[in-house]
Each structure stands twice: as structure tokens, then as C-alpha cells.
A and B are shown apart, each in its own frame.
Chain A
Amino acid sequence: DIQMTQSPSYVSASVGDRVTITCRASQGISSWLAWYQQKPGKAPKLLIYGASSLQSGVPSRFSGSGSGTDFTLTISSLQPEDFATYFCQQASSIPLTFGGGTRVEI
């Protein structure tokens, strides 16, 4: 199985801050990576796919980059509605696997 390691596991930030979350795959996955946002009590929501493509309807302050084993999710200017947990997911091989999550809090 491909292991996905996210860091940090917790981020304390303020509205307007730039936030960067990283995800590392245990082996190369090309650009087969997605990022999801999950708010408490809600289902995950797809933000980024293909490492850098923005899902329809997702604000442009979210961006993704990377390929191979190292990836980043950046929120350019944190908004109140962005406080949530973020997960990466590799889509290269089955079983599909997720990172452990990064909680973004005030």
C-alpha cells in the first residue's frame, strides 16, 4: 500500500494568513493526488485533483502543487470558512489511501 504522510497535523492560523500543508507519498504517484476539506459533522469535499487542478466551484485562494512524492496545498489568504481538516488522497493505485489529516484552527 502507498502510505500518505501529511504535515503538520495541526495548524494554528489567523484570518488572512497564508497556510501551506504538505503531503508525502511513500512511493512516486506522478500527479495522482487530491485534496479534500472536511468540516465537523460533514462529508469531505473535493478541492483539488490531479495535484493542481481546482475542482469546479472551489475558490481560487486554494491551490495545489507537486508531483512524484511531494505535494502541497496552499490557502493564500485564510477565510473564516476555511477552518477545517484537510486530507490528501493518492489515486495512483488500489488500495486508495488518505493522509492522516491537517486540522486548521484559529
Chain B
Amino acid sequence: EVQLVQSGAEVKKPGESLKISCKGSGYSFTNFWIAWVRQMPGKGLEWMGVIYPGDSDTRYSPSFQGQVTISADKSTGTAYLQWSSLKASDTAMYYCARRTATTEYFDYWGQGTLVTVSS
């Protein structure tokens, strides 16, 4: 069974750093792109970027380029999303999602990680 399991909820202060994770299982982790998707409270879905764990090829949305870093560790089957300096506007639910083998659709999703940034 394909599963993406994300790390738990985080509460941080503005200016702090953070790294959240998404562990894949039940499939060949290195052969499928993993994307990160933001959902701000009560809002829609925003594609942040994607990584191919096999070679760490990474693409970012222009809206998030320079704001976050996406990485992956193929030895542990885990993808990461990190911030070096959080802002209150980063408060959101963050989902990882597996891209299908040949198209830009997302067939499996993690359960989400809620990030709250507040002073």
C-alpha cells in the first residue's frame, strides 16, 4: 500500500527555522516526483514545487522560489520542506503529494502538516 506519512504539527515564532518531512512507503520512492502543496486557512491549494528523489532534480513555483527549500533523502525515502526564517504568513497546512509516473497529477497525498507561526 502506497503511503505518505508527514511529520507532526509545528508551532514556531517568526524568524525561526523549520524542516518538515514526508516519508514514502509501499512504492519505489526514487522513481516518483514528490510535490509540496500549501493550503492557507480556509483557502485553496497552491503548488510550491516538486522534487525527483532519484537525482534530487527540483522545480519551484516562482511564488515560492527563494522562500523555501525542497530536498529528499533517498536512503530513508523521505522528502523535506524547509524554511530558514518563518513569517506569520507561512501559517498553513502543508501537504506532500506523489506525482503519477508520467503526468502532473497527484494520486497519493500525505495527511498534511499544520505549521503555525505566531509570536
Could you tell me the distance between the alpha carbons of A100 and B50 in the complex, rounded to whole angstroms?
A: 21
Could you tell me the distance between the alpha carbons of A42 and B6 in the complex, rounded to whole angstroms?
A: 13
Contact of B45 with A by CB under 8 A? yes
Q: Are B107 and A55 in contact (CB under 8 A)?
A: yes
A selection of 30 A-B contacts at a CB cut-off of 8 Å is A32-B103, A32-B104, A34-B105, A34-B106, A42-B111, A43-B95, A43-B109, A44-B95, A44-B97, A44-B106, A44-B109, A49-B100, A49-B103, A50-B103, A55-B107, A87-B44, A87-B45, A89-B45, A89-B106, A91-B103, A91-B104, A94-B59, A94-B61, A95-B47, A96-B47, A96-B61, A97-B47, A98-B45, A98-B46, A100-B44
Cβ–Cβ < 8 Å partners of A46 in chain B: 105-107
Contact of A64 with B by CB under 8 A? no
Chain B count of residues within 8 A CB distance of the other chain: 21
Cβ–Cβ < 8 Å partners of A94 in chain B: 59, 61, 104
Which applies to chain A's interface (DSSP): helix, strand, loop or mixed?
loop
Q: Are B44 and A89 in contact (CB under 8 A)?
A: no
Name the one of A45, A55, A101 contacting B44, with C-beta atoms under 8 angstroms: A101
Q: Are A45 and B105 in contact (CB under 8 A)?
A: no
Contact of B63 with A by CB under 8 A? yes
Could you tell me the distance between the alpha carbons of A55 and B103 in the complex, rounded to whole angstroms?
A: 13
Minimum Cβ distance to chain B for residue A6 (Å): 9
Q: Are A43 and B45 in contact (CB under 8 A)?
A: no
Could you tell me the distance between the alpha carbons of A46 and B45 in the complex, rounded to whole angstroms?
A: 13
Q: Are A95 and B61 in contact (CB under 8 A)?
A: yes
Contact of B24 with A by CB under 8 A? no
B-contacting residues, A60-95, CB 8 Å: 87, 89, 91-92, 94-95
Closest residue of B by beta carbon distance from A48 = B105
10 residue pairs, one from A and one from B, having the closest CB atoms: A91-B104, A43-B109, A95-B61, A96-B47, A98-B45, A49-B105, A34-B105, A100-B44, A101-B44, A46-B107
Closest residue of A by beta carbon distance from B46 = A98
